[in-house]
Copies of this chain bind each other. A is one copy, B any other.
Amino acid sequence: MSELVERLRHERLTLTRTISMVENGGAGAANVLREITPATGHARVLGITGPPGAGKSTLVNQLIHFYRGQGKQVAIVAVDPSSSISGGAVLGDRIRMQEFYGDSGVFIRSMASRGQVGGLSAATNDAVRVLDAAGFDVVIIETVGAGQDEVSIARAAQTTILVEVPGLGDDVQSIKAGILEIADVLVVNKGDVPGADKLITYLKTMLTYSHYDWKPPIVKTVAVEGKGIDELAAQIDKHFAYLEQSGKLTDRTRAALHDELIERVKLELAARIAAQLNTAAGAAMLDELVSRELDVATAARRLVEGLC
């Protein structure tokens, strides 16, 4: 075991700083990833997503208590990709941090948007790797929204849990197309309010259109009262067992790494292209585009040729 991994497991400050380092990218991040990668692969990685107001944070807190009760170490990565311009709102993790203050078996980190599509996803993946190497048994990635960024963040999870609640407007429209397809386990939270059963029926109907050979179970919870959490944890385990037995765990990891690699290379190259546009020649090219002497397809081709 490398010295860094050893320290990650015993020093909270090293853990916090190492996550910041991978978030910042560049050579520092690359060195960390090279050193920690052999020590990863132990953590169970869960993704939790769903619309604002669905009670995700409460549900995650209940899962933390559940896994802590089993003696497991739990880390949370709370991600808000919805604010691409203003810099991202921080989820309710201050309150949460207070709830688990003093418990060294719980670690909570929030990730703000990295400004660029793919940047947040790469940073989240790397933070999960650091937490995995640091010995956390369960890493929960909590995200808001249902955009492209979220779909790629979900890919880092072995099991993705979609939380819905009754009463968030018209069901057909509030459950965004595409998001159901990334869900391995569905949760209908606030399961005791009117409309919960109707929502379950609706979700069941939607799931009949799924081509996926794993049939996502629907778990009813009342997160504020801790109801349904045991059942949720059982379904998460069942999904993981399915992944292992079917051989899909490796397929999934491989597909996620494939997509992540493309994203990372794109990010790296985007930085180089931006630098190229930031030269006198780049400014001249933009002038020609603005005046319509040059078209974007030709300009893009020239940039690619200049890069490679």
A257 within 8 A of B: yes
Return chain B residues, CB-CB under 8 Å to A293: 38
Q: CB within 8 A of A266: which of B82, B181, B266? A: B266
Q: A178 to chain B: which residues have CB within 8 Å?
A: 82-86
Q: Looking at chain A, what size class is its interface with the partner chain?
A: 35 or more
- Tell me the smallest distance from the CB of A203 to a CB of chain B, in Å: 16
Candidates B81, B82, B174, B277; contact of A262 at CB < 8 Å: B277
| B290 adjacent to A253 (CB under 8 Å) | yes
CA A273 to CA B258, docked complex, whole Å: 10
Q: Assess the B286–A273 pair: CB atoms within 8 A.
A: no
Q: Which of B38, B257, B273 contacts A296 (CB 8 A)?
A: B257
A257 to B293, CA, bound (A): 13
Contact among B88, B182, B261, B307 with A299 in the assembled complex (CB-CB below 8 Å): B261
Inter-chain CA distance A161–B113, complex, in Å, is 24
Contact with B along A166-181 (1 / 0, CB 8 A): 0011100110111001
Q: Check if A254 sits within 8 Å of B290, measured CB to CB.
A: yes
For A81, give the chain B residue with the smallest CB separation. B148
A243 CB, nearest partner CB in chain B, Å: 14
Shortest C-beta distance, A268 to chain B (Å), equals 5
Residues A82 and B34 in contact, CB atoms below 8 Å apart? no
Q: A270 on the interface (CB 8 Å rule)?
A: yes
Chain B residues whose C-beta falls within 8 Å of the C-beta of A89 in the assembled complex: 177
**A224 / chain B contacts, CB cutoff of 8 Å:** none
Please state if A286 and B266 are interface contacts (CB–CB under 8 Å).
no
Residue A260 at the chain B interface, CB threshold 8 Å: yes
Contacts of A262 in B (CB 8 A): 270, 273-274, 277
Cβ A117 vs Cβ B85 within 8 A: no
What residues of B have a CB within 8 angstroms of the CB of A289 in the complex?
A: 254, 257, 261
Across-interface contacts of A125 in B (CB, < 8 A): 296
Interface residues of A in 251-267 (CB under 8 A from B): 253-254, 257-258, 260-262, 264-266
Chain A contacts to B: CB under 8 angstroms: 29-30, 33-34, 36-38, 40-41, 52-53, 81-86, 88-89, 117-118, 125, 145-149, 151, 168-170, 173-174, 176-178, 181-182, 250, 253-254, 257-258, 260-262, 264-266, 268-270, 273-274, 277, 286, 289-290, 292-301, 303-304, 307-308
Ranked 7 nearest A-B pairs via Cβ: A147-B147, A83-B177, A30-B297, A37-B295, A264-B300, A52-B173, A33-B295
* Given A257-B296, A261-B299, A269-B269; 9 other pairs, CB 8 A cutoff: A34-B297, A85-B178, A117-B117, A254-B290, A257-B289, A261-B273, A266-B266, A268-B300, A268-B301
